[in-house]
Amino acid sequence: MVKICCIGAGYVGGPTMAVIALKCPSIEVVVVDISVTRITAWNSDKLTIYEPGLEDVVKKCRGVNLFFSTDTEKHISEADIVFVSVNTPTKTRGLGAGKAPDLTYWESAARMIADVAKSDKIMVEKSTVPVKTAEAIEMILTHNSKGINFQILSNPEFLSEGTAIQDLFYPDRVLIGGRETPGGQKAIETLKEVYSHWVPEDRIITTNLWSAELSKLVANAFLAQRISSVNAISALCEATGADVTEVAHVVGKNTRIGPKFLNASVGFGGSCFQKDILNLVYICECNGLPEVAHYWKQVVKINDYQKTRFVNRVVASMFNTVSGKKIAILGFAFKKDTGDTRETPAIDVCKGLLGDKAKISIYDPQVTEDQIQRDLTMNKFDWDHPIHLQPMSPSAVKQVTVTWDAYEATKGAHGICILTEWDEFKQLDYKKIYDNMQKPAFLFDGRNVVDPEKLREIGFIVYSIGKPLNA
């Protein structure tokens, strides 16, 4: 029986390994993590992350050929294939701070593999890493192991949170990069065999190591760039009376462009887009390509601009002050169908409103009060000026309440900001909400989920991203 060990039981490691276990009954899969809390949750009925369909998959395989453990050394040493799916956040200090990824977790995982390995292994980069990381890893492994053969493969993950299981079941492509040596090619074939249990052959792409590592960064940069492009145009639409939904529809009808990822919004979030673009910017700078770095930097700048623009619109619309006013925040996660709040635009919007002394009442179906308190009090790294911005003061955070109901959150509010596109926000009884709000009642739709005309008929003053104000 082939044995797989995955280091890192997070948003990627957990779901990816659960699907491999489900689709490959002949393979034993063990997911290990240094976090006891995470492993305990994976072994319980309350999984550590919310992801549609995940619970089902885990329940089918857990204890059969899927295991979660903190015994990292044992399972690495027994595995034939070791996936590394640890976090690679942006560095907050030292060389490259604010742009380069922090590879501390990576390096310690690689050193641990070298330490405990007793037989030849394939090591698979699942985390998103800078191009040429495999070279550094090879160095660590070969200098620290005793005659063991390691083959490094790059197999970046393209799932997106909220649709992870669907993405893993029916991937657009699986990418495997390896050395062009006989050993490298054999390792590629071994991993290909795992995926071929359910992924059609024509969807498995093999490349050299550096193309695979770089492709993941570029794919995320292109996705984020589309969002920033349409968001930049949304500002122009508001200034001219054009409607960004109509413009995006027309533009997306061109088959060379396509309709996906052209929804204007308050901005992108999540743990990957900003981090991966900044990583790309840093790599360009290190390779003497400042103009290319500048180009990609603008994608993040426009995203920041969009969040600031949204806050300014809220404050300006409400007679230039939100001081003492209750603002309901509907949605805090960075997108629907996930409880993940990493880099969510809601953090910046809430901080902006709290900075103007608003009282905030938040409702999100999957985000806990602890998460929100942590996010609002956490230092936010300013990537352009490598210093830490001040977290919210305890007195400002006291102005935040978290509710488990949209009606409760909006009761007595002067305004509502919709910041996540949860389906349930389309179905709310807005007449009831309007009746329980202060007047004039404002609604700022940061995801364009409600029909502004219907809400205006009720009496709301509505601001939708990139749409005419008085349509």
| Shortest distance, position 88 Cβ to ligand NAD, whole Å | 4
Judge residue 324's burial from the number of C-beta atoms within 10 Å of its C-beta, 0-12 exposed, 13-18 middle, 19 or more buried: exposed
Cis, bond preceding 25 (omega within 30 deg of 0): no
SS (H, E, C) 8-24: CCCCCHHHHHHHHHHHC
Which member of 4, 5, 13, 359 binds ligand NAD (CB under 6 A)? 13
251-290 mask for ligand NAD (x: CB under 6 A)? --------------------xx------------------
Q: Does 225 contact ligand NAD by CB under 6 A?
A: no
Catalytic member of 5, 6, 24, 272: 272
99 lines the binding site for ligand NAD (CB under 6 A): no
Cβ-based nearer residue to ligand NAD, 154 or 361:
154
Kindly tell me the burial class for residue 320, based on how many C-beta atoms sit within 10 Å of its own C-beta (0-12, 13-18, 19 or more).
exposed
- Report the distance separating Cα 188 and Cα 206, nearest Å: 8
Under the binding rule (CB under 6 A), the answer on residue 32 touching ligand NAD is yes
272 catalytic residue (yes or no): yes
The H or E element spanning position 400 is: strand 400-403
Cβ-based nearer residue to ligand NAD, 33 or 356: 33
CB 23 within 8 A of CB 100: no
- The size of the interface with ligand NAD (CB under 6 A), counted in residues, is 28
72 binds ligand NAD (CB under 6 A): yes
Which residue in the set 6, 51, 88, 279 belongs to the binding site for ligand NAD (CB under 6 A)?
88
Based on the shown chain and the rule CB under 6 A, indicate whether residue 9 belongs to the binding site for ligand NAD. yes
Nearer to ligand NAD, 8 or 352 (CB): 8
Token pair of 204, please? Answer: 């498995």
Least spacing, CB of residue 271 vs ligand NAD, in Å: 5
108 scored as a contact of ligand NAD (CB under 6 A): yes
CA distance 106 to 48: 22
Minimum distance from CB of 15 to ligand NAD (Å)?
A: 9
- The rounded distance, in Å, linking the Cα atoms of 100 and 27 is 36
Q: Where are the alpha helices (DSSP H) in 117-207?
A: 133-144, 164-169, 182-195
Rank residues 108 and 393 by Cβ distance to ligand NAD and give the closer one. 108
CB closer to ligand NAD out of 35 and 211? 35
Closest residue by Cα to residue 358 from 405, 394, 315: 315
Between 51 and 356, whose beta carbon lies closer to ligand NAD? 51
- Structure tokens belonging to residue 400: 């935040």
- Using CB under 6 A as the binding rule, the residues of this chain from 148 to 177 that contact ligand NAD are 157, 159-161
Q: Residue type at 230?
A: V
What residue has token string 């122009």?
Answer: 236
- Annotated catalytic residues are 272
Binding site residues, ligand NAD, CB under 6 A:
7-13, 32-35, 38, 72, 85-88, 105, 108-109, 127-128, 157, 159-161, 271-272
